[in-house]
Amino acid sequence: MNITHSNRKRTQLLNGWRKHDAPRGSLLRSLSTVAKWIVLPSFVASLSAPVFAQFMSQTQLGWPGKRLDGTNCRGNSGGVGPFDYTDPRNDEETLRKIYRAHFAPQVERLIHAQSSSLLADLDYTLRAIPNQHRALFSVIRLAFLRRRDYAGRLIYGTNAKTPPECYLQRAIKFRPNDGQVRVLFGIYLFRRKQYKMALAQLDTATKLLPTSAEAHYNRGLTLVKLKRFKLAQAEAKRAYDLGYPLHGLRNQLKKRGYWK
């Protein structure tokens, strides 16, 4: 599989977030709305994207970093892998088994679990494939999904131990040069109103993915929140030159007199 083509598909997946005042739209979109754009045969086919076990054990990877409340990240241990979602060396059969058992389309779309719960399925998938972009995207959406109070239990609950920021930091430790993980982390931090932290991730994302309209657009939105409008204007121009289709950032800059 052509990795550039595969990465382009995964970038297109993120284009479902459509709200103008948050990167790629609101994470609080209803499940029915999300399902309309996420059920695409090409994305289901790309579940077998080439991956390869790397020279880092589950124990060595562990749970680095801290939660946004300042406590240490912690999570389940063991499992297969870890595998790299973006590696061209192919171990498709192992990955198919993981996807069949824990990351089938209904799990990705947050409809129902394959095992005991949606969170358990996503947890297994992300422990096995820490930088699985689509699974990271799903756990972010799950955290903000009001149905069944997932947000309360996943992020704020007293027994919650692995919120999205922990999966994202683990993915960064595993593959620090995976720019798409940085974009996802920036989007998540933006939604949590941690704008300076979001900017740091998106700064790195634009360096790793200099031709990513997604990264530049989201960096521009974050700069607007930080009232750094001239820099936001430059990022907007870059994003639109790269073909970014939405006008939310442009509209925000127009209101502030930074777009002609």
* Domain stop point among 192, 220, 249: 192
202, 236: one domain: yes
Residue 258: predicted pLDDT: 92
| CA 154 to each of CA 104, 145, 151, 260: distance values in angstroms, whole numbers, following the listed order | 21, 10, 5, 43
Q: Average pLDDT, stretch 111-133? A: 92
pLDDT in tens, 24-79: 433 333 322 232 222 222 333 333 344 444 568 898 999 999 999 898 999 998 88
Which helix (H) or strand (E) covers residue 52, if one does? strand 52-53
Q: Which residue has the tokens 């599989």?
A: 1
156, 55: one domain: yes
* From 25-39, 124-138, 237-251, the region with the lowest mean pLDDT: 25-39
* Domain stop point among 192, 224, 247: 192
**182 close to 212: Cβ distance less than 8 angstroms:** no
pTM: 0.78
Residue 114: predicted pLDDT: 87
Q: What single letter denotes the amino acid at residue 200?
A: A
| CA 30 to each of CA 36, 110, 246: distance values in angstroms, whole numbers, following the listed order | 10, 11, 20
135, 239: one domain: no
88, 160: one domain: yes
CA distance 196 to 169: 16
pLDDT in tens, 40-53: 223 333 333 444 44
Residue 54: predicted pLDDT: 54
**152 close to 191: Cβ distance less than 8 angstroms:** no
DSSP code of residue 62? -
User: How many domains does the chain fold into?
Assistant: 2
19, 123: one domain: yes
204 pLDDT higher than 70: yes
Which helix (H) or strand (E) covers residue 222, if one does? helix 213-225
Domain that holds residue 163: 3-192
Q: Please provide the DSSP assignment of 102-154 as one string.
A: H--HHHHTTS--SSS-HHHHHHHHHHHSTT-HHHHHHHHHHHT-TGGGHHIII
* Domain stop point among 160, 192, 224: 192
50, 110: one domain: yes
CATH label of the domain that carries residue 251: 1.25.40
